[in-house]
Amino acid sequence: MSDTIQNDNTNKDLEINTNGSKGGQPGNQNAKKGKFFTDEIRKLLIQNPEQKQSIAEGLIQAAMAREPWAVKEIMDRMEGKAIQATEISGPDGAEIVKGIGIVFVDGHANNEG
């Protein structure tokens, strides 16, 4: 199920998904859950583009006032989030075990005497 709304700026009909179903990759169950909150915000902002402009201006003003969260949000949106390096190692920095060896021991060898 979807709603069709008209974008006031372009006078084009836009389809908003309201059944919680998203595209995504085949077999991706998380994509089917949808983003209800995001869809509702998108729907309201499309119907009221002046609010979107006001939100953007408020974000820029907060960044200009050196609010760290606003600066980070703008940088993440404009430049992409920074890649976080993660190093994985074993205990005390040792190499990670890459395989398991199985050794069969003849239990009768020690019983003979």
Residue 46's identity, in one-letter code, is I
Q: Average of pLDDT values for 73-94?
A: 86
Whether residue 111 is contained in a domain is answered as no
In a domain, 38, yes or no: yes
Query: Does residue 89 lie in a domain region?
Result: no
More confident residue, 81 or 4: 81
Would residue 88 count as lying in a domain? no
pLDDT, position 1: 47
Is 6 a member of any domain?
yes
Q: What is the 3-state secondary structure (H, E, C) of 16-74?
A: EECCCCCCCCCCCHHHHHCCHHHHHHHHHHHHCHHHHHHHHHHHHHHHHCCCHHHHHHH
Q: What is the pLDDT of residue 91?
A: 79
Predicted confidence (pLDDT) at residue 9 exceeds the cutoff of 60: no
Q: Is residue 95 part of a domain?
A: no
Report how many domains make up the chain. Answer: 1
| Domain span at 73 | 2-79
What confidence category does residue 88 fall into, taking pLDDT thresholds of 50, 70 and 90?
A: confident
Domain assignment present for 24:
yes
Output 5 or 42, whichever has higher pLDDT: 42
* Residue 90 within a domain: no
